[in-house]
Amino acid sequence: MLPGNKTVGVVIPAAGRGSRMKHRMPKQFMALCGKPILLRTLEPFQASAVIDFIIVVAGRADVAKVRRMVLSARISKVRAVVPGGSVRQESVWNGLRELQKHSPDVVLVHDAVRPFISTELIEGVARVAWKTGACIPAVPLTDTIKACDGDAVVKSTLPREHLWAAQTPQGFRNELLCRAFTAAARSRFRGTDEAGIVERLGARVRVIMGTRENLKITTPDDILLAETLVRRKAGKR
């Protein structure tokens, strides 16, 4: 629980089509060692002691399918499955507005295709988000990063000691996130993640250490790595 029994809601945007996966099925519904990726992603939030409400945002044609999936798997913290928009930001905004029916103190937004999130990281992000207003997990970059021009010619090498790769869940006080999304909608601003939308208001976003296992499944190679992780975790149990 958060201090003062503050409530935490989660928005899971699962409306993407996953074009980089080059598969007929959206990647969130693909089986990972016999279980849909989306269900594997939802399970840690269901298990977390700090999570009270979950809103899943699905493609319009998939809403009924996701509702059946959630009911069959007994993911009881899911309060609604709502249709998404044409881009991720619109989908998150749809989910965030639905979440307001439950008046959460803190909101987390998590990629539907990051199934290896731990309950420890969920709870860490939620606590820091309540304390500071905004928090994201990230990991330091280990590769050398090159900035190139349109002809793929290197223009500069970026100092990696200050570069971090952002992950999810990204957490915020509810009022701050709603205000940021409202402002973005009014000005037609499109951010690359929720933290970027909040940063635009001048708010400070705290970074905590993520984990290398918090993989976002995007390409066929990621599926192979994810299957290895599932088997490794099953072996440890």
Per-residue pLDDT, 236: 66
Specify if 229 maps to a domain.
yes
Q: What is the DSSP string of 44-58?
A: HHHH-TT--EEEEEE
**Does 159 fall in a domain?**
no
The answer as to whether 152 is a domain residue is: no
Residue 20 lies in a domain: yes
Mean pLDDT value across the chain: 94
pLDDT above 60 (res 21): no
| 95 φ/ψ angles, rounded to the nearest 5 degrees | -65, -40
pTM flag (> 0.75): yes
Other CB atoms within a 10 A radius of the CB of residue 155 amount to: 8
Residue 193 lies in a domain: yes
Distance of CA 124 to the CA centre of its chain: 15
Looking at residue 221, its amino acid is D
Q: What is the pLDDT of residue 237?
A: 59
Q: Residue 195 sits in which domain range?
A: 3-134+167-236
Give the CATH number, domain containing residue 7. 3.90.550.10
Q: Which helix (H) or strand (E) holds 40?
A: helix 37-47
Is residue 54 situated within a structural domain?
Answer: yes
Number of H helices, E strands in the chain: 7, 12
Segment 61-95, tens digit of pLDDT: 999 999 999 999 999 999 999 999 999 999 999 99
Residue 12 lies in a domain: yes
Q: How many domains does the chain have?
A: 1
125: helix, strand or coil: helix
Does 185 map to a domain? yes
Average pLDDT over residues 97-109: 98
